[in-house]
Amino acid sequence: MKKKILLVAVLIIALIGVLPVWARGGSDSASSGKYKVIFIAMDSMDEHWLKVKAGTEDKAKELGNVDLSFNAPQGKVDANAQLQLVEDAITKKMDAILLAPLNRDALVPGVEKAKNAGIKVIIIDSAIGTNNYDAFLSTDNGAAARLAADELAKLIGQKGKIAIVNAQAGSATTMIRENDFKDQVAKKYPNINIVGTQYSDGDKTRALNIATDFMTANPDLVGFYAANEGSTVGTGNAIDQAGKTGAVKFVGFDWSADTKALIEKGVLQATMVQNPYQMGYLGVQAAVDLLSGKSINRDVDTGVTVATNANKDSIK
């Protein structure tokens, strides 16, 4: 009898061994000893997202127990493509997803589905239209936008016509940067007239053309505000090409070799610098902490610095 019981036990163990991971109630990470974490960015070319990616990679290497992957849609405007990447991550049974949502509403179904599947979701940089996530790491974009409005107002003597070149119309981040800037101007600077807002989708060439059109239609334009790296670089190049460096004051957003070069040329007077590297670095740590059963801060402000010609060499 004991031999029969032992034989049955051996057969059961053997059967369990050939079952797929999902049927055993575990995950791939259980067998590999590493947590499967993916960072899904808005795109794979913008220097901002590459800095976030670098932060995720450094933290994953430091921890040693993270199997990290990266993905992004081909274009910055395709929220449906980004949603499909989230779906793929769910299918691949990721333990955690770090997501920078292109659109606060379009990505909600993916986030909800991931949470229902037991996956930890860390939102990076831009808000999502649901509270069903585990952590949110971002710049206080409203505060940064209000600061940008104050900087530009000071540069133009608190009066005159200005224009806004924004990035994605549906991104929570860029809309906060636009709306809080406008609200600050309306509240504090009645003699500043915003002649219009156009969206470049973060494309530098498109931003250049938009800024050129603004200056052509408004020869007395005294200032620009741009809301992300691509829009800042394109707008700066338009001011430079128009020969209006210094005459048209300019405050932008984000930090890169291109924005630094515009500051050095005197085209860009100030830019709001986030800490994208820290978003990625802390994002992976948050994911691992959650997966390890630790408690974390749900909302993390990763900070902002105003970069100018005076402090440009200290900005990383």
- Tokens coding 271: 């830019």
Sequence-separated contacts (24+) of 113-116 with Cβ below 8 Å: 113/86, 113/87, 114/86, 114/89, 114/90
Domain membership of residue 15 (yes or no) is no
Domain membership of residue 2 (yes or no) is no
Q: CB of 197 within 8 A of CB of 224?
A: no
Q: How confident is the model at residue 32 (pLDDT cuts 50, 70, 90)?
A: low
- In the chain, how many domains are there? 2
Question: Residue 97: which H helix or E strand, with range?
Answer: strand 96-99
Name the CA dihedral angle for 20, 26, 27, 32, rounded to a multiple of 10 degrees. -90
Q: E strands within 174-275? A: 192-199, 221-226, 249-253, 270-273
User: Given CA atoms 246, 247, 251, 254 in this order, what sign does their dihedral have?
Assistant: negative
- End-to-end Cα, the chain, rounded Å: 72
Same domain? For 80 and 196 the reply is no
Q: How confident is the model at residue 314 (pLDDT cuts 50, 70, 90)?
A: confident
Which CATH number do you get for residue 297? Answer: 3.40.50.2300
This prediction has a pTM of: 0.72
Same domain? For 90 and 104 the reply is yes
Residue of higher predicted confidence among 252 and 170: 252
Domain membership of residue 170 (yes or no) is yes
pLDDT digits (tens, 9 = 90+) for 75-105: 777 899 999 999 999 999 999 999 999 999 9
Please work out, in degrees rounded to the nearest 5, the angle formed at the alpha carbon of residue 111 by the alpha carbons of 110 and 116. 95
Same domain? For 257 and 286 the reply is no
Q: CB of 253 within 8 A of CB of 263?
A: no
